[in-house]
Structure 1
Amino acid sequence: MDHHGLLGRYLMFFVGVVCSALGIALITLAGMGTSAVSSLAYVLTFVFPGVTLGCFSFVVNCVMLGGQILLLRRKFPLVQLLQIPFTFVFSVCIDLWMDLLSPLVPAAYAGRWVVLLLGCTFLGLGVALEVVPNVLILPCEGFVRTCSQVFGWEFGKTKTGYDLTMVGTAALVSFLCLGTIHGLREGTLVCALTVGTISRFFCRQINRVKEHCSGMTACV
């Protein structure tokens, strides 16, 4: 087994987790909603003021990990329990990025669009860096993958259904608890329409770099 190669793959995944957290923080700080996958956690910060987005992100992700275990039962790979510490890092990074960057967010609406698009870019890059190493997956995406495997659903359509369900649940919780819709705005729609495309672009570029490096190593 190539231990150095495996370590490099886990390191790439870790960088992806940090980038994804940065993307979600920027999207949320733009003040135009948040990503679909974070929508329920974000709405809960309005329902329970004082509890951070990172804390609720950890809770939601742990519930999704539990969903994977219930669906797979004995077929659940124990190595995927490593999703827990990586989810903790992801959640802590969301709060750290938000604390560090909140003073820098411009007040102007146009400036907030720049922040939003930067967030979508970093989130897309983060997802690509998580996917390419093929070692672990964060629980929300892991739940989508598990549903796809267990029920024979196509992954892309399952992901779309999951995102819509999260946004719908967030809207329902917000309406029932607050009497209005909080945290779901035009930024949520922009994320839904762009992050997947950005992620696929970065996946292609990262794989090209990997192939180029492998070719150079073979030549040596």
Structure 2
Amino acid sequence: MTSWWRARSIRQMVLMAGAVLLLVSGLFGGLRDAPAEAAVPLVVGKPHEAAPFTLTVERARWTSDLGEIAKTDRGRYLIVIVKVRTDADRSVDLSTLQEALALRGAKGIYAAMGGDKIVPSLEVTPSVYVLADGTPMSALPPGLTYELVYIWEQRGSEPVPERLKLASRSHTWRQSSLDEQMNWFDPTVDAVGTVPLIEAKP
């Protein structure tokens, strides 16, 4: 196997790697997180359609104490309050809801609340809770509007950002390449913007 691999030319290896990358991208809908030139501004207080939702970013806060949800002594939580309406004619699962809003360019973001791994902020899956009662969000029923809290955890060695850079992602309703089931796939950045970050007061 080693001798075969060494015998391949650089051009052949590049073409092979590209073919594998395209195959993976086609199956799982990857390579779509870079904001496109056509991305529109994501404006605080202005509804934005990002299929299958309409999102309205309301405000952003930071704190180390989320009450009954979580507390941290190693950094802080970055919180974005968003009004979300489901525009689909069926319930939309949590993973699609989590992919709908991403944090861009923030340093020192944990891959998950309470986790240890630091990853690029655009790759982080935020925790999502209902603002009214602090319950974890699950599937979002059709036609309903919820005021939700998107949460990311940042390590304390990083300075508190003055503003958060956000990206919304739209999805495509299509058949899976793996099991032929219909679902929302291909999260694609369709709007970018910033929101002032203020310390949450008790």
TM class, shorter-length: under 0.3
Q: Which has the larger radius of gyration?
A: 2
- Bigger relative contact order, structure 1 or 2, given CA contacts below 8 A and separation 6+? 1
- Calculate the TM-score normalised by the size of structure 2: 0.24
The structure with the greater share of residues assigned to helix is 1
The structure with the greater share of residues assigned to strand is 2
